[in-house]
Chains A and B, each alone.
Chain A
């Protein structure tokens, strides 16, 4: 049963990542692209956790945690650059 649920979740997350990619390419403003990248990171974390469930491997959790931190820092850096013209002042 869990196998079917994981397959369903992989399909859902693939569709979600495709929709995020569409928004990332379409725009129209830079803010939309930042939201799309932020959501892509969230969906990628979910996909990594699912790979961990599918392969019964506990190690993938650390990749997900690292991606959560790096994704947040990336979003804030993009926003700071757009707001102030510089990242570290």
Chain B
């Protein structure tokens, strides 16, 4: 094996180990953290750094060891970078909706409760009162 082969092996192994460690850390954070707003924070590490490291490692592996020019792993990474904020936003909306519709909140995280919605404008799942509109469906 040539010197560049050993170097590429080291880089690929480091990327795979880094990615798998971050995936484990993200899942561990999701189990440990107290409320949903904090739990959303953990898996973002698994999505970006964890899966990103494994995908770049796979790309380099197929490049250097299998001899296949493969850049398409970056497609998965790009797709996840686009969709991860959207799904996190949707889950946060579900959490806010749950906070509004369920009165009893037993666990409060270190960040405290999210602030109340402004009465002046719509925000997330809150809808401000529109008294002039015929189709006013908000709570008065």
- Are B87 and A76 in contact, CB atoms less than 8 angstroms apart? yes
**B26 and A65 contacting across the interface, CB-CB below 8 Å:** no
A residues 1-53 in Cβ contact with B at 8 Å: 1-2, 4-6, 8-10, 12-13, 15-17, 19-20, 22-23, 29-32, 34-36, 38-39, 42-43, 45-46, 49-50, 52-53
Chain A residues whose C-beta falls within 8 Å of the C-beta of B58 in the assembled complex: 49-50, 52-53, 61
Q: Which residues of chain A are near B17, meaning CB under 8 Å?
A: 5, 8-9
CA distance A43 to B86 in the complex (A): 18
> Which single member of B24, B83, B95 contacts A15 (CB below 8 Å)?
B24
Q: List, in ascending order, chain A residues with CB within 8 A of B123's CB.
A: none
Pair B13/A5 contact, Cβ less than 8 Å: yes
Interface residues on A, range: 35 or more
Is chain B's interface secondary structure helix, strand, loop, or mixed overall? helix
| Chain A residues proximal to chain B, CB less than 8 Å | 1-2, 4-6, 8-10, 12-13, 15-17, 19-20, 22-23, 29-32, 34-36, 38-39, 42-43, 45-46, 49-50, 52-53, 56, 58, 61, 64-65, 68-69, 72, 75-76, 79-80, 82-83
The interface of chain B, by Cβ under 8 A from chain A, is 9-10, 12-14, 16-17, 19-21, 23-24, 26-28, 30-31, 36, 39-40, 42-43, 46-47, 50-51, 54-55, 57-58, 61-62, 65-66, 68, 70, 72-73, 75-76, 79-80, 83, 86-87, 90-91, 93-95, 97-98, 125
